[in-house]
Amino acid sequence: MKHIFITGGVVSSLGKGLTAASLGALLEARGLKVTIQKFDPYLNLDPGTMSPFQHGEVYVTDDGAETDLDLGHYERFTGCRMTRWNSITSGQVYERVLAKERNGEYLGATVQVIPHVTDEIQWALRRLAEKIEDLDVIITEVGGTVGDIESLPFLEALRQFSLQVPAHDTMFLHVTLVPFIRAAGEIKTKPTQHSVMKLREIGIQPHAIVCRSEYPLEKEVRRKISLFCNVRQEGVIEELDVQHTIYELPLRLRQEGLDEFVCRHLQIGLDAVPRMEVWEEIYRRVREPKGRAKIGVVGKYVTLQDAYKSIDEALAHAGIAQEVEVEVVKVDAEEIERSGAAGQLSGLDGILVPGGFGGRGIEGKIEAVRFARERRIPFLGICLGMQVATIEFARHVAGMKDANSTEFAPGVAYPVVSLLEEQKQVRQKGATMRCGSFPCHLQPDSTAHKAYGLDVVHERHRHRYEFNNDFIDELTRAGLIIGGTSPNRQLVELIEVRDHPWFVGCQFHPEFQSKALQAHPLFSSFVGTAAELCMSDKT
């Protein structure tokens, strides 16, 4: 088993997650079996309770863990399946240490960061290796920036770990920023030097440095970084901002020789010829689209880049699959409340209402659904998006005045969306939602069935509320279609409406299973229909 440890320096938001995911893709292209994990230094047990303003999207795995959004990149770039073991936070590490202490497992010892916390972190590394069969490489990304107090125990644990295994079984890769200073007209390597110094202070000498830069690194700059950071020249890897799509990153890093360098150091995968055709094809499709579609995402966190990450990526994958250019327009649901749907939504080829929590912007989202339904614009509602679609239909088609979800209007006369039975006694906030992958049986002839081409699908959930079965008869009589249910038919998982070109609301989150190499069928069908209608409008 080989280990690659990825750290970051100088500033945060360097795209370490994308670098880790792309390296995973490059190793897989050589036929190696890879998994990627994330260590996060914060004390929350998971990001499930954090606001999107703090943390961006919460990514949900098949086994129901609420994790860091970088795990989404790992799944989108590679064939790995993420589990709860792929996301470790300081909170989880401390929770285990404290539980052991209470159980007397430390036999009277003083419990300390070194060795008890660091041992626990190393145990997490070994445990993941045991969980997956025939694994060749584990890539471990350490969150935060070198120099932070919080990430020190993780780095110390990795340093100790690397001493215990053969030298060629581990490798440290440091991602830094190499800024261009306009006034001087020069690229500066000093921040990188300092960041590497910080790493070496704690005993870690990186083998490779991935330099995030806006401009190409000249030979002299590479030589300087190599010399002052004590890294071989081939280990200085330039990573420029991508031009067209993040999915060109594996190609760029391959050109820079990253995989070659890593494989030589770890002494694996050297005789394989990397298969890059699929990545070339993606890159070609992004540059030469045959059509276009403008998709509005109507939400509450529209100013935040990372809040709807998986949705943005799933739309991009659909564009790649359909060979169309997808323009995503973020629409503020509260702006619709202030100035009306028409002004905000006219000219869109498709409307998507994503998941969300809390009542803010709800009326605007309902208006967006109405606009899509009445004007026959392709519509995809996800989780909360399906719930507001149900409310909209109840109010404006089935005549249930003021229908609502009990999440926003507890005593409402028509609670068409209400708390799941299993949620009624729950008081704690963390890790208590209906989370993870569940089967869904699709109705033959439904739009969803056509898109998937399957009778049963498995999709990931994260919610407390659900379609209220008390209203099934009344709503279906008015024309609502129950497109999918749980196997025992107790839970409505997908709805559609009659006489509409493409209208699907799903209680689950299809975006979590969309991949660069394999777009999600619902997204693909949604974007494909939107692009087709856009074309026919113009001809």
* 80 catalytically annotated: no
Q: Identify which of residues 58 and 341 has a Cβ nearer to ligand GLN in the complex.
A: 58
> Is 441 marked active-site?
no
**What is the smallest separation between the CB atom of 465 and ligand GLN, expressed in angstroms?**
3
The residue whose Cβ lies closest to ligand GLN is 355
Q: Catalytic residue among 80, 263, 383, 534, which? A: 383
Q: Give min distance, CB of 464 to ligand GLN, in A.
A: 4
- Asked if 223 and 216 count as a contact pair (C-beta separation under 8 A), the reply is no
Give the residues lining the site for ligand GLN (CB under 6 A): 355-357, 383-384, 407, 462-465
Q: At its nearest, how many Å lie between ligand GLN and the CB of residue 510? A: 12
Q: Which is nearer to ligand GLN, 194 or 464 (CB)?
A: 464
In the set 461, 509, 520, 534, the catalytic residue is 509
Burial class (CB in 10 A: 0-12, 13-18, 19+), 326: buried
Binning the chain into helix, strand and coil, the percentages to the nearest 5 are 40, 20, 35
Backbone angles phi, psi at 322, to 5 degrees: -90, 0
E-strand ranges in 333-431 read 350-353, 379-382, 404-405, 415-419
In whole angstroms, how close is the CB of 519 to ligand GLN at the nearest point? 21
Which one, 63 or 136, has the nearer CB to ligand GLN? 63
Bridge partner list, 34: 137
Nearer Cβ to ligand GLN, position 94 or 357? 357
**From the CB of 433, what's the least distance to ligand GLN, in Å?**
7
- Output 413 or 426, the one with its CB closest to ligand GLN: 426
Q: Smallest distance from the beta carbon of 525 to ligand GLN, in angstroms?
A: 21
Helix (H, G, I), strand (E, B), or coil: what is residue 105? coil
Exposed / middle / buried, residue 220 (Cβ in 10 Å: 0-12, 13-18, 19+): exposed
Which burial class, exposed, middle or buried, applies to 360 when counting CB atoms under 10 A from its CB (0-12, 13-18, 19+)?
Answer: middle
CA angle 111, 150, 177 (to 5 degrees): 150
User: Cα torsion for 522, 523, 527, 530, to the nearest 10°?
Assistant: 50
Q: Are 371 and 377 in contact (CB under 8 A)?
A: yes
511 is catalytic: yes
Q: Which is nearer to ligand GLN, 4 or 389 (CB)?
A: 389
403 vs 400: CA distance, rounded Å: 6
- What residues are labeled active site? 383, 509, 511
